[in-house]
Amino acid sequence: MERNTLTQKTSLQLGEFDIIAAYFKDLTDQSGVALGIGDDAAIIDLPLQSKIQLVVASDTLVDGVHFPSDASAYQIAQRALCVNLSDMAAMAATPRWFTLALTLPKEKANRQWLKDFSMGLAEVALEYNCALIGGDTTAGPLSITITMLGEVPVGAGLARSGATTGDGVYVTGFLGDGAAGLLAITKIDSFKNKPKIVSERLLDLFYKPLPQIIAALKIRHLASACIDISDGLVADLGHICRSSGVAASVDTAMLPIHPDLQENFQDQCHDWALFGGDDYQLCFTVPAADLSIVDDWIYQGELDATRIGVILSFSDNNPAVLIDGFKSLERLRGFDHFIP
Ligand code: ADP
Ligand code: MG
């Protein structure tokens, strides 16, 4: 599309095609790609007798909504790719390829910004072994849309809908760091009497969440349902419940909360772990018969996860997610872009 692109330029400005050629075309190794950046679309080789399924997800990050306007290009790129990788983890897919639709204000279309952005992107792409294969570049308010393609063996993908009564509920990593990270961005004063390392860890995690691909592949053949926690544990476990037609009970004493949060934010950290967003950990369920296998992996240090609850049958008394036996309906909704 030609209108409103960055193409009309003065000699000092970078045009759309300069940007693509300099910062995106050779960003990553194009493995499995028959035709990469430079044509009207990319072509991907799939095995002839395909025993894999493609898994596709998109996420958009908007300036001032998903990251603060003073975030660096490097940080924005890393967060954009990581949140998309987290969707692959939720499906237990191996990430392979992605496209990047970049809308960029003209004042940011300079070499330094683009160099930092493409470096942030390249580092995460290398770490998670996925390749940039195409995209679009336009001028306008800063927004980044990544479409990620991954693969799973046929039938091995995890959905939200497979949980049944008696399943154990697990989460990976720590909860509440995302909400605490947001506080570090919006109200750094709340950290003024705390060790600097506390806010540093949270800010690092906010800009580079840790997509749980390895954990997802480990639990793939055992888990009955899975979701990544972007809107808060209770909201996202609620999605599993609604998709599966079940309820769930969470034991707050079991919530994995980082010692930094327990020590410095005693009063808030449980609320953050339950209702805060942006953690990008996984919440998954495991049938009763396999709980001992997963618990053993955790015990042996092969899986960084915690059993926090159990799936219940759905009823008037158990309408969704119960927290220590209490209904959580009033706060179940999580974050919604369109409802204040
Ligand atoms: P068209 O006008 O046919 O849509 P474009 O001129 O937008 O094609 O893009 C030219 C090539 O550059 C295409 O292969 C496209 O996928 C790629 N491309 C454009 N923007 C990006 C980007 N931000 N990152 C990666 N590839 C891009
Ligand atoms: Mg285009």
Band of residue 38 on the pLDDT scale cut at 50, 70, 90: confident
Q: What is d(CA 128, CA 302) in angstroms, rounded to the nearest whole number? A: 19
| Ligand 1 neighbours (beta carbon < 6 A) | 20, 24, 37-40, 100, 102, 132, 134-137
How many angstroms separate the alpha carbon of residue 38 from the centre of ligand 1? Answer: 6
**Residue 177: is its pLDDT beyond 90?**
yes
Positions of CATH 3.30.1330.10 in the chain: 31-153
Does 224 score more than 50 pLDDT?
yes
Residue 6: per-residue pLDDT: 60
Whole-number Å distance between alpha carbons of 309 and 312: 10
Q: Give the model confidence (pLDDT) of 286-337 as tens digits.
A: 999 999 999 999 999 999 999 999 999 988 777 789 998 877 654 444 555 5
**What CATH fold (topology level) applies to the domain 168-327?**
Phosphoribosyl-aminoimidazole Synthetase; Chain A, domain 2 (3.90.650)
What pLDDT, on a 0 to 100 scale, did the predictor assign at position 9?
A: 55
Ligand 1 atom with minimal separation from the 2 CA: 2
CB burial of residue 172 (10 Å; 0-12, 13-18, 19+): buried
Q: Where are the beta strands (DSSP E) in the chain?
A: 33-35, 43-44, 52-62, 94-104, 131-139, 143-153, 168-172, 225-228, 246-250, 282-286, 305-313, 321-323, 326-327
More confident residue, 304 or 21: 304
pLDDT band at 86 (very low <50, low <70, confident <90, very high): very high
More confident residue, 102 or 27: 102
Above 60 in pLDDT, residue 185?
A: yes
**Nearest alpha carbon to residue 158 among 274, 261, 55:** 55
Ligand nearest to the CA of 99: 1
Helix, strand, or coil (residue 282): strand
Average pLDDT over residues 208-218: 98
Q: Which ligand is nearest to the CA of 132?
A: 1
Q: Shortest CA distance to 281 belongs to which of 85, 118, 135, 115?
A: 85
Lowest mean pLDDT among 75-89, 169-183, 219-233, 310-324: 310-324
Query: Which one-letter amino acid corresponds to residue 298?
Result: I
What is the pLDDT at residue 47?
A: 74
327 Cα–ligand 2 center, Å? 49
Nearest CA to ligand 1 atom 21: 135
Question: What is the token pair recorded at 245?
Answer: 């037609």
Contact 332, 236 (CB under 8 A): no
**Cα separation values, 294 from 83, 264, 281, 291, 303, Å:** 25, 31, 17, 5, 8
CATH class belonging to 31-153: alpha beta
| Ligand 2: centre distance to CA 139 (Å) | 11
pLDDT of residue 332: 46
Contact criterion met (CB below 8 Å) for 148 and 130: yes
CA 22 / ligand 1 centre spacing (Å): 12
Ligand nearest to the CA of 114: 1
What was the pLDDT predicted at 7?
54
More confident residue, 303 or 29: 303
Nearest protein Cα to ligand 1, atom 27: 135
* Residue whose CA lies nearest to ligand 1 atom number 22: 135
Q: Is the pLDDT of residue 142 over 90?
A: yes
**Distance from residue 137's CA to the centre of ligand 1 (Å):** 7
Confidence (pTM): 0.90
So what's the pLDDT on residue 330?
43
Q: Check residue 144 and give its pLDDT.
A: 98
Strands 143-153 and 33-35, bridge-based pairing: unpaired
Report the alpha-carbon distance of residue 137 to residue 117 in Å, rounded: 13
Task: Tell which phi-psi region holds residue 145, choosing left (phi > 0), alpha (psi between -120 and 50) or beta.
Answer: beta
Q: 113 to each of 12, 67, 85, 141, how far by Cα in Å?
A: 15, 16, 23, 15
| Domain(s) of CATH 3.90.650.10: residues in the chain | 168-327
What is the residue-averaged pLDDT of the chain? 91
